[in-house]
Amino acid sequence: MTMLREKSPERIPAPQVRRSRRKSRAGFFYVLPALVVFGLFLGYPLLQTLQYSFYDWDGLSASTWAGFSNYFSVFTDAALRDAFGHALVLMLFYAVVPIVLALFLTALISRANRLRGMGFFRTVLFLPQVISSVVVATIWVSIYSPDGLLNGFLRMVGLGSVTRVWLSDYSLALPAIGFVGTWVNVGLCLVLFLSGVGTIEPSLFEAAQLDGARAGRQFFAITLPSLRGQIAVALTLTVVSALKTFDLVYVTTSGGPGTSTTVPAFEAYNRAFTTGQVGSGAAVAVVLTAVIMIVTALIKRIQPKESG
């Protein structure tokens, strides 16, 4: 009978431990420049904004301690609640609609690769992503103007009765801005999804065809599950762009008419630099940052796990 003995863990030689520690310290020095830049241009301003959010300050005179009152106002002030509600509406236009449209276009384009000119159409759809958002906003201000392209088209097809000044309409100004976000984000989602389709094994589609599966069945059984990672990335980028929307609102409506198109980022800017409520604007910015981080973490849960 042989006795089983537990094997004692091997001791790592001291010189090897020292070399390992030196390598770890060397790795830290590689990332140090990036950490310094992050601390100077993001970490310090963020901490300063957090500090301002606990004070009542008009930006010029002496500040007074306000405690958590600025944060309470984020939830009790009707204007701020409306701003966050408008951001939720924009998420529908910026994220949900573009992803659904891009999935539909992906299903069409991935089966029409042999058609001539597909590269041109892909470029056209992605073009809004490379245009400055201020330029995009200026273009759509012109399109939505009383004598703009949209009203001109409606008059041409006999729908002159529905023409209006779109960005001055209390009920339609926010959807009009949201449609611009849809126009911008469709191309981004489409490029992400087409890159994901390119990684799917063609043998899966061939096997499905042999089993008699039609195009729709192939899309929902093969393509859509394979695009979970790309959908999560697209959802993260588009939802974050909806939550931090500022320049589009600032250029097109400046939050109007009334407060019908205000969003959290615009409110943070407006309170800090226009109405002299620096503490309140800082609190809105901090809450918005927290919301973005929470939403991003939740969306990340739908990403497929990396196989080891």
Residue 170 has pLDDT above 50, yes or no: yes
Q: What are phi and psi of 55, to 5 degrees?
A: -130, 155
Q: What is the pTM for the complete model shown?
A: 0.84
**How far is the CA of 229 from the CAs of 132, 187, 221, 277, in angstroms?**
27, 17, 16, 41
Instruction: Assign 3 a pLDDT band (cuts: 50, 70, 90).
Output: very low
Q: What CATH number has the domain spanning 68-133+162-302?
A: 1.10.3720.10
Amino acid making up residue 68 = F
How far is CA 302 from each of CA 66, 104, 230, rounded to the nearest angstrom? 40, 20, 11
163: left (phi over 0), alpha (psi -120 to 50) or beta: beta
Amino acid, res. 190: L
Pairing outcome for strands 64-65 and 55-56: antiparallel
- Whole-number Å distance between alpha carbons of 18 and 2: 39
Classify residue 6 by its DSSP letter: P
Q: pLDDT, tens digit, for every residue of 107-145?
A: 887 766 555 666 777 778 788 888 888 999 999 999 999
Do residues 59 and 282 make contact, with C-beta atoms less than 8 angstroms apart?
no
Is 283 in a helix, a strand, or coil?
A: helix
Q: In three state form, how does the secondary structure of 116-157 look? A: CCHHHHHHHHHHHHHCCHHHHHHHHHHHHCCCCHHHHHHHHC
Q: What is the mean pLDDT of residues 173-194?
A: 92
* Helix spans in the chain (H): 14-38, 44-52, 69-76, 78-91, 97-109, 118-130, 133-144, 149-156, 173-197, 202-210, 215-218, 224-226, 228-243, 247-252, 264-273, 278-300
Contact 52, 273 (CB under 8 A): no
Per-residue pLDDT of 209-238, as tens digits, reads 888 888 888 888 888 888 988 999 999 999
Q: Does the structure show a pLDDT above 50 at 1?
A: no
pLDDT tens digits for range 263-288: 999 999 999 999 999 999 999 999 99
pLDDT per residue over 20-70, tens digit each? 776 677 777 888 889 999 899 989 999 999 999 999 998 888 889 999 999
Where residue 212 falls (left for φ over 0; alpha for ψ -120 to 50; beta otherwise) is: left
Report, as an integer, the average pLDDT of 189-198: 87
